[in-house]
Chain A
């Protein structure tokens, strides 16, 4: 198998600072009185809320289910009552609030009914993946990518599953302590993952500055009679723990730019993820806590603690008796890639591997680039950091992508060696988020264009329809004109004729002069004569 190791380009030898926090065993931190559990603790869509305010929850009870495929479930980290569901600051560079579930813990740590996967030893890959997704397992190395997706090779055949125990960043020792104390869990998890992927072999890669972890895993692995699991020591060099760098070191293969490791038959998972998979599948425990290294010069006793998700930063600081100080710089993660935390109520999440508390150091102000090329020499992704910097500075987003900006893993090596102290990674992050925002805006613009064009089309269509309707009505009126006139004329004619006939008939038959007696005729005659006389007289008078 792979006795030979390779090298990746660049990298840095950094002072380890690991011994400080490995003197004490892993301890479970007592649960805080209030837990603040964000619904977004992973890459992908935020989980869909399942609970409401006032509800009582037990430890391990699902409080949010995965929304879509690229998402992970969230479980109550301890038993208690939900007091609020509202936005709260989450550990994110933006410092913006996001929806969180507030749980007032009862301190009893009562578990809900734990359901291990039935027939875990024979279960098929699909049911393993479903169980892992339902258990809320995400990459514990720092990225937080939902693990069930990385355990689904799809059309590709997986040759090697690499378990990443490199833990290359200074100060962080949570994986180291896990490997020392719980090697069996890691190996069990590795076997389950290996089955889900149908991988041929498993390689657990550990930096050679962790001899205790290497020994513990090797002893544990030796107990199995047949095994396709190999444990190898790799040279200590930052950032060996980067997925692509580790694959290069272990297999000699390069993951294509814009490609995924699975395309070359390799899948990489963190050792802590393997342990979490074991606990979820075999013990039925969803992911509700993790091991966090609390270290740095300001921590009286650096150590590794098992901390429930949602524990506010302040609770950890109090437990570790860190003195309050405004000049403390608190990083979530290591000194190279860590995220500065400013709010003491920020909760710890699934990806919080370390709390590094050091005295605040003022960064020297940036000087102009002298084009020394030191950054290109250390870049583990073989990029040209200087070119990326120029283009990011000039906001030339097309050209910066020609220099493979998105292959940058933001490891901070270029930052660390820059003699001008230019915040290079900040420029790359700025350019990346700007390009993503432009892509989003483009989609919105395309939708608006489509809707606007449809509206134009609709208005045109309505106009034509109206015109057509008018034309039809007009036509109907004009074609009716002739016949209508005739009908009218005929009607008038008929009416006139009726009137005429009536008149004639009236004249012909004066009904009250029929059948008169002789005396009556006499009277009429006399009246006529009188009338004639009067007429004559009046005529004379005129």
Chain B
């Protein structure tokens, strides 16, 4: 009886120490689930989800504070991927956060721009080039289409233009569902 208790206690202590050591030795910096969620988000940094960027939204989702259907730029694809990752049921995009739109980029009408730099300060990815009282322009390749530069512009000289597809980036359409049910 006593020896059994002793043996169990020793085992418990050994494993406790082992686990304690492992917890310190193999500690993971940061929250890996946040990184995983963040890597699925489109990184538009538009804030339409109600958070100040993609990473804060990812953190909120990891903490179960936000739903998986709040990212309009990601749309259905991102919702499906998030549902898959987090083991939740996919649901349609929440309407209060916006609607899925084709990919856009900002274009500055250079005739109208007064060089106020307000849009430069608003751009979350630093893709607007310019200086005070100098004409500004958008680096189209790096624009995420977040539309955050639109409200600050005092002369409304920024337009959102749809990115057309070329033969290289064209996607084959989903085959029509013409199946006849028997």
Contact = CB atoms under 8 A, between A and B. Distances in A.
- Bound pair: A and B? yes
A325 interface: no
A434 interface: yes
Contacts of A433: 170-172
B166 interface: yes
B34 to A, nearest CB: 13
A427 B175 contact: yes
A432 B171 CA distance: 9
B124 A367 contact: no
Interface in B70-89: 77, 80, 84
A446 B54 CA distance: 12
Main secondary structure of the interface of B (DSSP, over half): loop
A130 B163 CA distance: 37
Contact of B125 (A366, A395, A441, A451): A451
A448 B103 CA distance: 14
Q: How many interface residues does chain B have, given as a range?
A: 20 to 34
A206 B171 CA distance: 35
Contacts of B166: 96, 98
B124 A455 contact: yes
Interface string B125-157: 111000000000000001010000000000000
B59 interface: no
B134 to A, nearest CB: 20
A176 B180 CA distance: 42
Interface stretch (A51-59, A86-94, A282-290, A482-490): A86-94
Contact of A445 (B42, B168, B181): B42
B167 A426 contact: no
Nearest to A431: B172
A17 interface: no
A429 B44 contact: no
B26 interface: no
A96 B170 contact: yes
Nearest to B173: A430
Interface in A73-128: 90, 92-94, 96, 98
A451 B45 CA distance: 11
A260 interface: no
B174 A94 contact: no
Contact of A94 (B44, B54, B167, B178): B167
A456 to B, nearest CB: 8
B144 to A, nearest CB: 5
A365 interface: yes
A261 interface: no
Contacts of B45: 448, 452
A306 B45 CA distance: 55
A135 to B, nearest CB: 24
A93 B171 CA distance: 10
B169 A448 contact: no
Contact of A98 (B53, B167, B182): B167
Interface string A357-387: 0000000011110000000000000000000
A231 to B, nearest CB: 38
Interface in A443-464: 444-449, 451-452, 454-455, 458
Contacts of A92: 167, 170
B171 to A, nearest CB: 4
B63 interface: no
Contact of A455 (B125, B167, B182): B125
B170 A94 contact: yes
Interface string A473-497: 0000000000000000000000000
A40 interface: yes
A401 to B, nearest CB: 14
B167 A452 contact: no
Nearest to B76: A395
Interface string A418-433: 0000110011011011
A389 B168 CA distance: 24
A418 to B, nearest CB: 12
Given A445-B41, A447-B142, A448-B45, A368 B167 contact: no
Contacts of A452: 43, 45, 53-54, 124-125
Given A98-B166, A434-B171, A447-B142, 18 more contacts: A92-B170, A94-B167, A365-B180, A398-B84, A422-B179, A432-B172, A440-B169, A441-B42, A444-B43, A445-B41, A448-B43, A448-B45, A448-B125, A448-B144, A451-B125, A451-B126, A452-B125, A455-B126
26 contacts: A40-B167, A92-B170, A96-B166, A98-B166, A98-B167, A365-B178, A368-B182, A395-B80, A423-B175, A430-B172, A430-B174, A430-B175, A432-B172, A433-B172, A434-B171, A434-B172, A441-B42, A444-B43, A447-B142, A448-B43, A448-B45, A448-B144, A449-B38, A451-B127, A452-B54, A452-B125
> Across chains A and B, which 8 residue pairs bring their CB atoms closest together, nearest first?
A94-B170, A448-B43, A445-B43, A451-B125, A426-B175, A429-B172, A433-B171, A430-B172
